[in-house]
A and B are shown apart, each in its own frame.
Chain A
Amino acid sequence: DAGVTQSPTHLIKTRGQQVTLRCSPKSGHDTVSWYQQALGQGPQFIFQYYEEEERQRGNFPDRFSGHQFPNYSSELNVNALLLGDSALYLCASTPQLDRDYYNEQFFGPGTRLTVL
């Protein structure tokens, strides 16, 4: 099992453009979370997908949207890119266990987005 995989590894865009990042969860996991990690900061929660629906959302504008497919893979879309969107975007997957159990999240290697 390759664990959580993300593509592409690196991406360069210009302001105003749109970008799509992709994530495949670890085998046996069905919940996908996305995080933004700016330089020198800890990861910040963007949103989480389960059963193809957005279940939770952090403090990010509507320019950030996502999707989950029937095979549990997920996409993160960012419209109207700003310079401040430059960051490492992390995907994490979680097995769907009993809701009282604090699940470990398994992280992918990230996609480095640079907005010029």
Chain B
Amino acid sequence: AQRVTQPEKLLSVFKGAPVELKCNYSYSGSPELFWYVQYSRQRLQLLLRHISRESIKGFTADLNKGETSFHLKKPFAQEEDSAMYYCALSGRRDDKIIFGKGTRLHILP
């Protein structure tokens, strides 16, 4: 079954502390992995994708095929990072995106 699991509904982190949002997936094949973010009163937008191997707003995500994980990390949290984060996957030549339930990241001052 194709599935994305985000075990934490809410994650509270102090400003300046490291952040790690967990994501595990189940997929038969080699999916493309994404992190989408939704800031307050804004639309859902792409944060980063595995294939690009970019660091966006200080966030990185490493694909671990053995553990089927794609955790999102940032070394030093900022208040503007507070948002809803969704891990997602898409199959090759298959544009539909399968989303996890999301993790709300709350950065404490």
A40-B101 CB under 8 A given contacts A33-B96, A48-B95: yes
Chain B residues with CB below 8 A from A56, complex form: 94-96
Evaluate contact between B44 and A33: CB separation under 8 angstroms: no
Evaluate contact between B44 and A31: CB separation under 8 angstroms: no
Evaluate contact between B95 and A100: CB separation under 8 angstroms: no
A31-B101 CB under 8 A given contacts A108-B43, A109-B43, A110-B43: no
Evaluate contact between A94 and B45: CB separation under 8 angstroms: no
Evaluate contact between B101 and A45: CB separation under 8 angstroms: no
Count of chain A residues with a beta carbon within 8 Å of a chain B beta carbon: 28
Evaluate contact between B95 and A103: CB separation under 8 angstroms: yes
A71 within 8 A of partner (CB)? no
Q: Give complex CA distance A94, B38 in Å.
A: 18
Evaluate contact between A41 and B101: CB separation under 8 angstroms: yes
Evaluate contact between A42 and B99: CB separation under 8 angstroms: yes
B106 within 8 A of partner (CB)? no
Evaluate contact between A102 and B101: CB separation under 8 angstroms: no
Evaluate contact between A102 and B51: CB separation under 8 angstroms: yes
- In chain A, positions 34-50 with a C-beta closer than 8 Å to chain B are 35, 40-45, 48
Q: Taking beta carbons and an 8 Å cutoff, which residues of A are in contact with B?
A: 3-4, 31, 33, 35, 40-45, 48, 56, 58, 90, 92, 94, 99-100, 102-110
Q: Taking beta carbons and an 8 Å cutoff, which residues of B are in contact with A?
A: 4, 9, 32, 43-46, 49, 51, 86, 88, 90, 92-102
